[in-house]
Copies of this chain bind each other. A is one copy, B any other.
Amino acid sequence: MSAQSILQFKKTLENLDACMAKAEAFATAKKFDVNVLTQYRLAPDMFNLVKQVQSCCDSAKFAAAYLSGQTPPKHEDNEATFAELRARIQKVIDYLNGFKAADFAGYEAVKVSPNWAKGKWLPGDEYLEALAIPNFYFHVMTTYAILRHAGVDVGKMDYLGAINLKD
């Protein structure tokens, strides 16, 4: 299950990147600099789009690292443009591509102790369900909502991606 969640994070980041590409096309059609959108927020006391994208990247990266007992790669949070944000997304997709299901064997019982928890911890399964998954979708969906509200032509299927129905 953990491996499936990580695969789903990867798919969702690919879908988010496609939404970012749609924003670039929208900006070109409307003749504005797409990087204007990096400073957009839905409310003044909310993270801007840059920080939303960085946060969903981190949420996926840390989940994969913590649940497999690895040390996550460091990313500097210095992106300022759409091109840099899309490169950041790609870096995390590449990182997630390096995992295989066996890396997450026994993830349920791993003690996950993020820096901000100051020594406290959650068992892996609880961390995944109560924190990693909802936190990931929080930042993905806020990014999506900012783009949607700004007029970019994205819909739920862009976010969900292809659903592989069987006959």
**B-contacting residues of A (Cβ < 8 Å)?**
1, 4-5, 7-8, 11-12, 42-43, 46, 117, 120-123, 125-126, 129-131, 133-135, 137-138, 141-142, 145, 148-149, 151, 156, 159-160, 163-167
Contact = CB atoms under 8 A, between A and B. Distances in A.
B138 A138 contact: no
A8 B133 contact: yes
A20 B66 CA distance: 34
Contacts of A121: 165-166
Contact of A129 (B4, B134, B142, B165): B4
Contact of A137 (B123, B141, B151): B141
**Number of this chain's copies in the complex:** 2
A7 B129 CA distance: 9
A132 to B, nearest CB: 11
Given A123-B166, A135-B156, A149-B149, 12 more contacts: A1-B125, A4-B129, A5-B129, A7-B129, A42-B42, A42-B149, A122-B165, A131-B163, A134-B159, A138-B141, A141-B145, A145-B149
A148 B46 contact: yes
Nearest to A137: B137
A121 B167 CA distance: 7
Contacts of A123: 166
A125 B12 contact: no
Given A43-B148, A130-B11, A122 B160 contact: no
Contacts of A4: 125-126, 129
A122 B164 contact: yes
A167 B113 CA distance: 10
